A and B are shown apart, each in its own frame.
Chain A
Amino acid sequence: MKNMKEEYLKTDYSDLKVVKTEIMLTPLLIVLPIVVAVFLINDWFNSGFLKGNSVYNGELLLAIIILVGNIMFDIPFIRSLIKYKKK
């Protein structure tokens, strides 16, 4: 199963149409999780931090998890996309 898992469907990658969906979805894939994290931080700051209410600390922790989890994968993905576009 492991070897199969690493193999992707072979497609004609020289055809730009094939990666079109990927390029089209990229802004959404990258921006939306960051927006969600920003909303959570905003709520923690306004409802929790400014009012001294610790109940909202969980939202901050979740925001950090979402941000770190996404940026960790976004950077190599954007790098690989830039490499592809250069080709």
Chain B
Amino acid sequence: MKKRNNPIQKVVDQLEETRKKIEETTQKINALEFDVHWYRRVFHAFGASFLLYYMLPDIDWINLLKFWIPIVILILVFILEYLRIKGKLNSNHFFGLRMYEKKRVSSYLFFGVAILILLLFFPQQIAVPCILCACIADPVMGEVRHRFGEKYVYMIGFLVCMIFFMVTWYKAGFWIMFPVSIIGAVGAVIGETKKFWWLDDDFMIQMVPAVLLYLIIWVGTQYMWFGLPEKIIYSGVMPW
């Protein structure tokens, strides 16, 4: 009886071994995808460093560099993206790309373009909260979506974005800060949820609230009694 069971036992052992190997490999793959996931989150949060732009001293030659360096960096990134999409550069070198970004412009380029537009063409009071929405609120919303599902994404995203607008506009006084924060946060959440194949949410989350606030401020200064509050970051912050 024991002899007859031996080949069966062997097969069972082999199956068990294979199962363990599959489990180990799956764990490894999951750990690596987890790594990509956190890499993208950290990359987003890193974008807040671009606020350094406002800290640089207000000197002619620095202002010239402030204008040209971001443009040159973006042109280089455009070239890299062009080469990647054309297949002349392997996508493997671009860590953390999503499946749908293989044949499309990557979201980091949209992210960079939006930050550049905000830094160069929008006042600091509008640019700062919009950049923070993309850099911090967007990964927070992504994490909430990842862990708790769609249910809480909009509510938490709205609150986080609202805090950023309130902090940037607190000098304007409550009756301007509060509605502006609500409008900005709504714009950011709409920007995050509306995504198109050709236009990424990393662009929209920054540009939708920025354009909305720009229009409000334009109307406010032309036809009403309010305008931009005092800026929040003063140039020359750097210790040297």
Contact = CB atoms under 8 A, between A and B. Distances in A.
Contact of A36 (B33, B49, B163): B49
Given A62-B233, A69-B45, A84-B32, A9 B38 contact: no
Interface in B20-37: 28-29, 31-37
A87 B31 CA distance: 10
A61 B38 contact: no
A55 B95 contact: no
B217 interface: no
Contacts of B7: none
Interface residues of B, number: 57
Contact of B238 (A19, A39, A76, A84): A39
A58 B235 CA distance: 13
Nearest to A29: B46
Contacts of A19: 35, 95
5 contacts: A7-B99, A8-B37, A29-B43, A30-B42, A83-B35
Nearest 10 A-B pairs (CB), nearest first?
Answer: A69-B136, A58-B232, A77-B38, A43-B237, A80-B35, A73-B41, A32-B49, A9-B97, A13-B32, A7-B99
